A and B are shown apart, each in its own frame.
Chain A
Amino acid sequence: MSDIEAKDKKDGELRSEEFVINMGPQHPSTHGVLYLELRLDGEIVKDCRPHIGYLHRSCEKIAENRTYIQFMPFTDRLDYLASMNNNLGYALAVEKLLNVQVTERAQYIRTIIAELNRVASHLIGIGTFAQDLGAYATPMFYCFRDREIIVELFDELCGGRLTYNYMRIGGVQTDLPAHADKFIKDFIKYERQKLKEYNELLTYNAIFLARTKKIGILKQETAISYAVTGPMLRASGFKWDLRKDEPYMIYDRFKFDIPVGKTGDSWDRFKVRLDEISESLKIIEQAIGGLPAGNPISKVNRVFKGPPGEVYMRTENPRGELGFYLVSDGGLKPYRNKIRSPSFSNLAVLPEMIRGLNVSDAVCVLGSTDIVMGEIDR
């Protein structure tokens, strides 16, 4: 008789123990190489410890060994689903350091492109979320179909489909192609129709509601304390969007709403993303309508020295607030480039949300946070 059996006999009841399950780093729904150490009691998650770093490339160290311009392609690889937004954030930070003015046309183009990328990124967020809920690939394919149109435009614009390296310090790489105006307008019309379809397929589907409503509630105070930003913060009912509240670039010229949730559950996070798509479409529509003529191409020297000092620039990325903290000592390369990535803080709050839920719900909540590991590990 082994010790365990002896113990069973003594207690007179069935011995039960916690069940540790290693979810990831290779798992269909951990969105990359995230490793969650789940402690389960039956199927109830007692505790969760995220382990990150599998994609750590030390971008910040690389930045110290590259000139300002050379680091631009590396920003693509942070949040690879929203490369344009990363490009934009970095370009704005360097421009702030150099005190460079950007032409009107370049600003409009940047806005259009950044918002298009936001739409593309949210589409993936929605699609993968539905996939995590077990809707076998269908919503995912629909979202990728729509994203494909945006990616095609970007492909034509800069030759890349995932990592664009399109923004330049002081402008953009190339002007919009001649037919872009019609192309984007068509896309807006098309996408508005499709959003209605997504509402029918997912948003008000009874099973979808049962799986996401009241699951993984993130209270507003918790969200703020964990420095959660972006759609997750807004889903908790906090109306905060940098584009509206601290407008950078030309966002103060456009009319759009900030969608907010009520309870901060998974459904709210999903709905906020879905609504943000239509708000972004509004911005794109206004921007493409008021696109001024001019030259959007950068006039900044290829080689320049950053003036000594430091800047902090944050922008509203699809996943939250992306910040670049640039410290310059007057050399060709930045002395320090700190990247404050939104997903990093958004993931930190995950254990708070999934404690006491089912494994299925844990997957659902993880999907609703819409994290990108490239940005977390940097």
Chain B
Amino acid sequence: MDQTQITQTFNQQLPGAVVEEQSKFLVIKKESLLAAAKILKDSELAFQHLHSVTAVDRKDKIEVVYHIYTYKYRFMLTLKVYLPMTDLTIESLAHLWQSANWLERETYDLFGVKFLNHPDLRRILNPDVWTDYPLRKDFNRPDFYRLPQTEGLKAA
């Protein structure tokens, strides 16, 4: 199995979804992500294993990268979605693959990509009170970290 087969499937069932095809990855439209994911998981391609979800900050846009694996054909698909910096929202895949829950939380925590319809979108690695997204390229590392003072701390 290779990537062209998946591109063909997409072209048949979701015309216009594939924006860009490169040797190592496929880029699909943001709106058709959920439909594409459903096809991958439920068709006979059997992509059962959502291996990782992450993002890459390209300064003008953020790429959300999904690594999805099929045990049946032993193929790792790299699926990308480009998000403009003005609208960092994307559909969550958590109800298709349970693993997406934590992986998307991590991506949200580190990049600020908002996953819509996510069951529990909270920060996972950083404290809840943080407002920054540390893996963005425009993130300025402060010289000294101090958590915003909470009511309890003030009282103490």
Contact = CB atoms under 8 A, between A and B. Distances in A.
Interface string A332-356: 0001101010001100110000000
B134 A58 contact: yes
Given A225-B97, A226-B98, A227-B99, A53 B125 contact: yes
Contacts of B98: 222, 225-227, 348-349
Given A312-B76, A335-B56, A224 B49 contact: yes
B65 A325 contact: yes
Contact of B24 (A56, A224, A309, A338): A309
A225 B124 contact: no
Interface in A52-102: 52-53, 56, 58, 60-61
Interface in A224-247: 224-227, 240, 245-246
A327 interface: yes
Given A53-B124, A56-B125, A327 B110 contact: no
Nearest to B141: A61
B40 interface: no
Contact of A52 (B49, B101, B125, B139): B125
B146 interface: no
Contacts of B76: 312
A132 interface: no
B134 A377 contact: no
A306 interface: no
A225 B47 CA distance: 10
Interface in A30-59: 52-53, 56, 58
Nearest to B78: A312
Given A225-B97, A227-B97, A240 B110 contact: no
Contacts of A377: 125
Contacts of B48: 224-225
Size category of the binding interface on chain B: 20 to 34
A323 interface: yes
B33 interface: no
Size category of the binding interface on chain A: 20 to 34
Contact of B101 (A314, A321, A348): A348
Contact of A60 (B24, B99, B110, B123): B110
B24 A336 contact: no
B102 A348 contact: yes
A344 B102 contact: yes
Nearest to B76: A312
A275 interface: no
A58 B134 CA distance: 8
A353 to B, nearest CB: 13
Contacts of A311: 24
A378 B74 CA distance: 28
B67 interface: yes
B56 A340 contact: no
B126 interface: yes
Nearest to B54: A338
Contact of B52 (A60, A246, A340, A348): A340
A338 B52 contact: yes
Interface in B64-122: 65, 67, 71, 74, 76, 78, 97-99, 101-103, 106, 110
B62 to A, nearest CB: 11
Contacts of A335: 56
B29 interface: no
Interface of A: 52-53, 56, 58, 60-61, 222, 224-227, 240, 245-246, 309-312, 314, 321, 323, 325, 327, 335-336, 338, 340, 344-345, 348-349, 377-378
8 contacts: A56-B126, A60-B135, A224-B71, A227-B51, A309-B24, A310-B24, A348-B98, A348-B101
